[in-house]
């Protein structure tokens, strides 16, 4: 595989992660506003890297950290985070 096609694959995977974050994870409840689509985009590359390790607990921990520490939310939903983590791992497995 060429460097160019590897880069495209990674961009596509990051885009897929970004879609899951906005449409399904959405801890601050903004997915009804299409103008806010990039709200979680900065988290996608790092979450993809973590998801590539294949451990849903670790991915869910990071999702919880992002929601509570980065976004200042007081709580998070562990079961929801684990469901999202498994989806992100599924995306990461497409590499």
Q: What is the pLDDT of residues 21-52, one digit of tens each?
A: 999 999 999 999 999 999 999 999 999 999 99
Confidence of residue 4 (pLDDT cuts 50, 70, 90): low
Total-model pTM: 0.92
- How many Cβ atoms are within 10 Å of 20's Cβ, its own excluded? 18
Q: Give yes or no for residue 1 having a pLDDT over 60.
A: no
| pLDDT top residue among 7 and 87 | 87
**pLDDT at site 54:** 98
Q: Give yes or no for residue 94 having a pLDDT over 70.
A: yes
Pair 33, 74: CB distance under 8 Å? no
**pLDDT at site 28:** 95
**pLDDT at site 37:** 94
Tokens at residue 36, please?
């806010």
């Amino acid at each position: 595989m060429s460097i160019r096609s590897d880069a495209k694959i990674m961009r596509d995977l990051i885009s897929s992660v970004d879609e899951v974050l906005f449409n399904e994870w959405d801890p601050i409840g903004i997915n009804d506003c299409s103008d806010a689509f990039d709200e979680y985009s900065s988290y996608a590359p790092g979450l993809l890297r973590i998801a590539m390790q294949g451990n849903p607990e670790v991915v869910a921990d990071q999702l919880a950290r992002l929601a509570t520490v980065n976004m200042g939310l007081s709580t998070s939903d562990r079961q929801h985070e684990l469901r999202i983590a498994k989806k992100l791992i599924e995306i990461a497995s497409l590499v």
